[in-house]
Structure 1
Amino acid sequence: MSLIISGSVAIDNIKTQVQSQEGLLGGSAPYASLSARLFGEAVHLVGVVGHDFPAAHLDMLTSRGINLDSLERNSGESFTWTGEYHEDMNNRSTLKVGINVLENWLPKLSPEAAKAKFAVLANMSPDNQLQTLEQCTEVEFVAADTMDLWINIANERLHDVMKKLDLLVINDGEAKQFAETTNLIEAGRRLQAKGPKYVVVKRGEHGSFLFGTGPQEFFACSAYPLSAVHDPTGAGDSFLGGMIGWLAANGKSKPTFADLRTAVAHGSVAASFTCEAFSTQRLQTVTLDEVKGRLEELRSYTSF
């Protein structure tokens, strides 16, 4: 079952305490798309790039089986993000952002992409998320991510998005902010009350919480343990893409809670690969056998 992944496509410049790299592939859509493709289904990436966007990045995405028929090529400059990670890789500083072609972007889905059964509204403005969804003619499962920026400046439109979701994926700090509570369990339930049938709260290196439809439908998944993190950029997007990629690959457009538990574990493993190298460099080389191996390890680490 095909899926669309709509979101930002960026040129990233990243510095850690060990090294720095420039001109990297970034943005929510590439990370989520590469992660979803680990599980073999057709992925349509919806986004926009400028005249300065490296052709090598686009060639790589195509080589990994990602359809770019809904990626707009604009004459302006590409969206760019420059950031620095501190010694604690959970903390980073944004040094510079160039909105550029994203400022007036209107998503445009190809006829084939519009028929996708799964829609991933990756991190982007709520307006762009709604504009994407309005063009989906046969969608059966809708998942979205968001961030503190949109909670602050587009709260009303974000609430409009929430009413159309089957699944919201959001990190812990933003879940508390959006739900106006310091308790993560309460936050998850309050977010469900805003519209999504299911909510996943990402907790970084501590894993994630999945909230189902009843009080007993709750699942806490560990993150895959890594001894070293090289670049956590895009890990959350990879988590989302891995989740929905697994659901699509298995035809789970009406997933049970058990299906979603399994999808969360697949998302966790996909995210772990992202952290092992700058940008999407590790995601580009991951094999399904490596994913399966890591899933077995995660299962052995967390069962009792």
Structure 2
Amino acid sequence: MSLLTVGSVAFDALETPFGKTDKIIGGAATYITLAASYFTKANNLVAVVGGDFPQEMIDLFVSHGINTEGLQIKADGKTFFWSGKYHTDMNTRDTLDVQLNVMGDFDPVIPASYQGCEYLMLGNTAPAIQKQVLDRMEKRPKLVMLDTMNFWMDIAMDDLKAVLPLVDVLTINDEEARMLSQQYSLRKAAAIIMEMGPKTLIIKKGEHGALLFQGDRIFFAPALPLEEVFDPTGAGDTFAGGFIGYLASTDDISFENMKRAIIYGSAMASFCVEKFGSERLVNLTEKEIDNRVLEFVSLASFEIR
């Protein structure tokens, strides 16, 4: 089934305990669509970049089967830029620089060929933009998934609360779940957040795995213990891309299939952190992905005597 992703395509400059980069390609929609490309062949992108965005990266999207008809190129503008430095624990980071550039007035135009997409991934952008996308869809998708962050909870909480009733799945991290719900217990937080609209909630816990909530049902997926983590940038977006890409490929939105999608999303995220930026996501093989999923299965399976 077809997937539409709306979000940012950007330049990042990163520094971790393992090294640093100059400008590399980043942005939520980049990670989401690259991860999803390993599952669904109907993979559509809506984003905006400046005239400084390299054609070879657009060619890379196309080589992964990503439809770039909805990628706006503002020739007289510059691409969104973010720079950050990670602490030694790799869980905390400092933002060093943010330049919105063409993202500052992003108008998400949905091409006619994208109308009718069954799955919609609203990447982390302003809630007002996310709602605008929904308003511009001629037909409601079968499943709408939204990612957001604490920044929008600080400056646009009313807008966020207006869009939450319109989505099916919300994905946030544990800090954001507590902030949105004003509850410390993640189980209590999940119940409150699901009352705000989304019937399904995913709480990402980074190196500690992910929780899936739907009604009274809960599923926990562990994170894979890796020998080396070079760069956690984009891991959450890669997770989301693997999750919704798997759902779109199977066209099954049951809770049982979402449990499988959580594992596939976690597997894709585990690849992402092994190199800087999106580098590890570019040339994965089906065998690598299958073997990584089996590692997750082995990690979490046991018998009761």
Partner of 1:104: 105
The structural deviation recorded for 1:83 is: 0.7
Flag structure 2 segments of 5+ consecutive residues without an equivalent: none
Q: Please give the secondary structure, in 2, of the residue aligned with 1:158.
A: helix
Partner of 2:283: 285
Question: Does 1:158 pair with 2:156?
Answer: no
The structural deviation recorded for 1:269 is: 0.4
The structural deviation recorded for 1:56 is: 2.1
Partner of 1:23: 23
Identity %, equivalent residues: 39
The structural deviation recorded for 1:59 is: 1.5
Q: Is the 8 A contact 1:41 1:245 kept in 2?
A: no
Question: Does 1:76 pair with 2:74?
Answer: no
Aligned partner of 1:184 among 179, 186, 191 = 186
Q: Compute the RMSD of aligned alpha carbons.
A: 0.9
Q: Is the 8 A contact 2:2 2:40 kept in 1?
A: no
The structural deviation recorded for 1:115 is: 1.7
Cα distance between partner residues in 2 of 1:118 and 1:204: 25
Partner of 1:38: 38
Which stretch has the larger CA shift, 17-26 or 269-278? 17-26
Q: Is the 8 A contact 1:41 1:248 kept in 2?
A: no
Cα-to-partner distance string for 1:48-97 (whole Å, 9 max, x where unaligned)? 00111122221211111111100111121110001111111111110000
The structural deviation recorded for 1:136 is: 2.0
Question: Does 1:258 pair with 2:262?
Answer: no
TM-score (norm 1): 0.97
The structural deviation recorded for 1:226 is: 1.0
Q: Please give the secondary structure, in 2, of the residue aligned with 1:279.
A: coil
Query: Which letter maps to 1:103?
Result: G
Cα distance between partner residues in 2 of 1:53 and 1:72: 11
The structural deviation recorded for 1:25 is: 0.7
Partner of 1:170: 172
Partner of 2:239: 239
The structural deviation recorded for 1:224 is: 1.9
Cα distance between partner residues in 2 of 1:41 and 1:190: 36
Q: Is the 8 A contact 1:130 1:161 kept in 2?
A: yes
Partner of 2:50: 50
Cα distance between partner residues in 1 of 2:154 and 2:40: 36
Aligned partner of 2:205 among 177, 188, 203 = 203
Detail structure 1 runs of 4+ shifted over 3 Å in the superposition. Answer: none
Cα-to-partner distance string for 1:156-191 (whole Å, 9 max, x where unaligned)? 110111001110010110111011111111111111
The structural deviation recorded for 1:132 is: 1.3
The structural deviation recorded for 1:40 is: 3.1
Cα distance between partner residues in 2 of 1:136 and 1:294: 36
Cα-to-partner distance string for 1:227-261 (whole Å, 9 max, x where unaligned)? 11011100000111110000000112xx1110111
